[in-house]
Amino acid sequence: AQKITQTQPGMFVQEKEAVTLDCTYDTSDPSYGLFWYKQPSSGEMIFLIYQGSYDQQNATEGRYSLNFQKARKSANLVISASQLGDSAMYFCAMRESLDRGSTLGRLYFGRGTQLTVWP
Amino acid sequence: KAGVTQTPRYLIKTRGQQVTLSCSPISGHRSVSWYQQTPGQGLQFLFEYFSETQRNKGNFPGRFSGRQFSNSRSEMNVSTLELGDSALYLCASSLTGVEETQYFGPGTRLLVL
């Protein structure tokens, strides 16, 4: 089963509008981290925002917010006031423990959503 | 604080050759992970190193190997290159803990001809 599912291969949004990028995850581990990364055409993976599995409040970082619905296992990224520079590929990722008690763990990535912001 | 650095940034090799990629983590980060990104397969996990030991390995053939040095710098090696090894190779470093963010380097673009 896929650990991370991003169902929107592409999204279009007009400048200054808000957009929501969907992400659902699958884990039985009680402790995990959820992350969103942005990858422009240059290839570098840029960290945007983090949500911990035990966090009660949704994470926010500037124009980015994470809509965390634990029971539904969803972690959608909301970008407010879109800018032309937001055009990029966006990846949702989850980090869970290598094994019980371990502090190590790999990232599982979705297939990404290509966001295009138009003027 | 300097970010994750990767060298070289671009590489062209021919089938059958071998290649070594290098990654220097953020100062203080002891966990280093490697990922391969291709248009067809997306982002795939290669390995994770901590304290000079490989702690986790993805589903890649033995031609892919790596190591970590005492200063946390890491290298990955691909022997007997195949055309399908053409990819963007990303290195990430982090502090330990699933809540810790993995920060990525700029990547090495490998083209195998």
**Looking at residue B97, what is its pLDDT?**
79
**What is the mean pLDDT of the segment spanning A21-41?**
95
What's the pLDDT at A82?
A: 98
CA distance B18 to chain A (A): 23
Distance CA B74, CA B34 (A): 9
- Whether omega before B8 lies within 30 degrees of 0, making that bond cis, reads yes
Q: What are B77's two structure tokens? A: 């090696």
What's the Cα-to-Cα distance from A98 to each of A75, B47, B55, B70, B97, rounded to whole Å?
21, 12, 8, 22, 10
Instruction: Tally C-beta pairs within 8 A across A and B.
Output: 68
Sorted by sequence, the CB contacts under 8 Å of residue A39 that are 6+ apart come out as A45, A46, A88, A89, A90, A91, A112
Question: CA-to-CA distance for B107 and B10, rounded, in angstroms?
Answer: 9
CA-based diameter of chain A, in Å? 49
B67-104 pLDDT, tens digit each:
999 999 999 999 999 999 999 999 999 998 778 899 99
| pLDDT tops 70 at residue B110 | yes
* Residue A35 sits at the chain B interface (C-beta within 8 Å): yes
In this prediction, residue B111 has a pLDDT band, given cuts at 50, 70 and 90, of very high
CB contact under 8 A, A112 and B35: no
Q: How far apart are the first and last CA of chain B?
A: 37
Return the pLDDT at B1. 72
Q: Measured between beta carbons, which residues in chain B are less than 8 angstroms from residue A103? A: 96-98
Average pLDDT over residues A39-47: 95
Q: What counts of helices (H) and strands (E) characterise chain A?
A: 0, 12
Q: Is A40 on the interface with B (CB under 8 A)?
A: no
What residues pair up with B20 in beta bridges, in sequence order? B77
The per-residue pLDDT for range B15-51, each reduced to its tens digit, is 999 999 999 999 999 999 999 999 999 999 999 999 9
Q: Which residues of A touch B92 (CB under 8 A)?
A: 45, 107
Measure in Å the smallest separation between the Cα of A1 and chain B Cα atoms: 15
Give the pLDDT confidence score for residue A100 in this predicted structure.
67
Residue of A nearest to B108 (CA): A43
Taking the mean position of all CA atoms in its chain, how far away is CA B16?
A: 20
* Mean pLDDT lowest among A17-26, A38-47, A89-98: A89-98
